[in-house]
Amino acid sequence: MSGHSFKEADSHFVPTEAAPLEPLGDYESEPASQTPAALDDGTVATFLYARVHNFSAACQTMGAAELTSFVNEVRRILSAAALDLGGEIAQRRPDSILCVFSHNPSDRVPTDAKRALHAAILTVHECVNLAARVAARPQAAGTPALSMAVGVHLGVAEVTPRAVNKSHATVHAAGEAVEIARLLEVVAADMHWSVVASLGARQAGGTRVDAGRCGTLGLPDDSFLEVVEITGLVPRKGSTTPQSHYESLRESLRKNQQLSRSAVQGAGHMVIEDYRLIRKIGEGGNATIYLAQPFAGGPTQVLKVLRPDNGDRVMGLQRFIQEFALLAGIEHPNVARIFKQGFSGDSAYIAMEYFPVGDLRSRMVKAMDPGVALYYLRQIASGLEAIHQVGIVHRDLKPDNVMMRQDGIVAIADFGVAKQVSMQITDTGAGESVGTPYYLSPEQALGRPVDARSDIYSLGVVAYEMLTGSKPYRAETAQALLQLHVSAPVPVLPPSHRKLQPVLDRMMAKDPAGRYASASELLDALEALGA
């Protein structure tokens, strides 16, 4: 390691003066030095977990004496503000710290969350100052910049006394709330938000804590936690602390975001900015589907999120971006609306229209009235024409992907995003199969290239099912079903629908050349029949 020092005069790192704290009178309801009144299982508290990123890389550039001073300064930065604001150390490592800000039931207004968030901001501020001094050293050239990430969560955990020394009580903390605070630190690093707080902690922090962006974190148990970016402090009424102090804290949080972009990402946690996730509603292909409410207001939407653990993530992301670019320009009543594409931490998503009425499948429990079936057929064909005009082939057209609006208008959804076609038959125990290739064109069954005429074939299968209440082909295995698509004759409609047989024959022709060349041509044929 290099023998150069931070300060040439004595070859030791000399810490700078800590950032000033606002007078603790602001927290008069709970003195900063007070030990929690109750340390039983199930303690309500605010937990702060902070970590200095690229700590080891910085250490590799230092000699022994310099390293000792640096490690001690990091230790001081991690603990000073927390201890001054009444926090207690539950775990301390060279580059990280877990602190507990306990809730005192006797307080008129609980201040544990406010103190924790204040400590988080001050800790980031001091880390940014340290990062500047470390980066200014010649031997630091090419070394990733120091940055800090902090997670703050208000919750219940087991907090018990462990030891006491002259300066503070040391506690042991364990439980879900502690793990969430640790997870929020990871989110802060992934999102470059400096300080990430759970919504509960932010709300309990009061009006003096400023918040920025909002998002929803997917937890391992498939539940969701709303999270908020902490961006600064607002002076209390009558404060004598200079306004420049608060501006300096805000600037440090912004600077830390810039520094953190050099930190290693890839934790794989799903975090969606700007949306409150309501529930998971599906999964398939390369994406997971969520029902979500924009924080900014407006209608409930569906988020199709590219999974962080997607094996071929680069190719998947390229398709995601490419398809959105095509779909975003489509404004057609028979095509599901695409609101936006977003990138949030390690996740990419597309926000789409939500259809609370359900899909066409729900209307197909039996043969439809011919007028209704043709009404839907024309709408689907019109939607296909719109997407075909921009070069999109749906590839998976089926009743489940035709959505219903409350006014009776149908819209094609799930196009061009998850292109995989399920080839597995799953017996439901009632003679019905789900996820089967009932709607595949012969060329799809043979693994050949497809174009718009493939969707025309699939629409023919849907039309037959709407008119008759049954699928045109059935088989015991997926392979046998595929063979029927390739070689079986086009099914015959009941005599009452005889005039539509020529249309179905062309839609479901085995050779794509025998089909309608476009959905527009199909619509012309239906109009010529008066259908």
Q: What pLDDT, on a 0 to 100 scale, did the predictor assign at position 414?
A: 77
Query: Residue 375 above 60 pLDDT?
Result: yes
Distance (Å) of CA 170 to CA 76, 175, 257, 329, 336: 16, 17, 31, 59, 57
Q: What pLDDT, on a 0 to 100 scale, did the predictor assign at position 18?
A: 53
- Alpha helices (runs of H) in 348-477, residue ranges in sequence order: 370-388, 442-445, 452-468
Q: Across residues 428-445, what is the average pLDDT? A: 63
Query: Residue 31 above 60 pLDDT?
Result: no
> Could you tell me where the beta strands, DSSP code E, fall in 335-432?
338-344, 347-353, 402-404, 410-412, 426-427
Q: Give the Cα-Cα-Cα angle 473, 368, 481 (nearest 5 degrees).
A: 10
Any catalytic annotation for residue 190?
no
Which residue in the list 396, 407, 455, 511 is annotated as catalytic? 396
Q: Give the residue among 191, 511, 83 at the shortest CA–CA distance from 183.
A: 191
- Cβ contact 340:186 at 8 Å: no
Helix (H) / strand (E) containing 364: none
Better-scored residue on pLDDT, 412 or 531: 412
* Pair of tokens at residue 214: 């909002």
Q: Across residues 445-469, what is the average pLDDT? A: 94
| Listed range (172-181, 256-265, 425-434) with the worst mean pLDDT | 425-434
Q: What pLDDT, on a 0 to 100 scale, did the predictor assign at position 84?
A: 94
328-340 pLDDT, tens digit each:
778 999 999 988 8
> Three-class SS of residue 501?
helix
194-223 pLDDT, tens digit each:
999 999 999 999 999 999 999 998 888 888
Q: Across residues 96-122, what is the average pLDDT? A: 90
Helix (H) / strand (E) containing 18: none
- Name the pLDDT band for 345 (thresholds 50, 70, 90): low
Query: Residue 165 above 70 pLDDT?
Result: no
Distance (Å) of CA 394 to CA 131, 402, 512, 523: 51, 11, 16, 18
- Cβ contact 426:435 at 8 Å: yes
Query: What global pTM score does this model have?
Result: 0.67
What backbone torsions phi and psi does residue 345 show, to the nearest 5 degrees? 60, -120
- Cβ contact 60:1 at 8 Å: yes
Helix, strand, coil percentages (3-state) for the chain, rounded to 5, are: 35, 25, 40
What backbone torsions phi and psi does residue 224 show, to the nearest 5 degrees? -125, 150
Mean pLDDT of the chain: 83
Q: Across residues 343-360, what is the average pLDDT? A: 85
485-494 pLDDT, tens digit each:
999 999 999 9
Which residues are CB-contacts of 502 (< 8 A; sequence separation ≥ 6)?
Answer: none
Between helix 452-468 and helix 519-528 the angle, nearest 10°, is 40
* Cα–Cα distance measured from residue 101 to residue 32, given in angstroms and rounded to the nearest whole number: 10
User: How large a percentage of the chain has pLDDT more than 90?
Assistant: 55
| Listed range (10-14, 271-275, 513-517) with the worst mean pLDDT | 10-14
Domains defined for the chain, CATH in brackets: 39-263 (3.30.70.1230), 273-353 (3.30.200.20), 360-528 (1.10.510.10)
Query: Residue 34 above 50 pLDDT?
Result: no
Q: What pLDDT, on a 0 to 100 scale, did the predictor assign at position 415?
A: 58
* Cα–Cα distance measured from residue 454 to residue 515, given in angstroms and rounded to the nearest whole number: 9
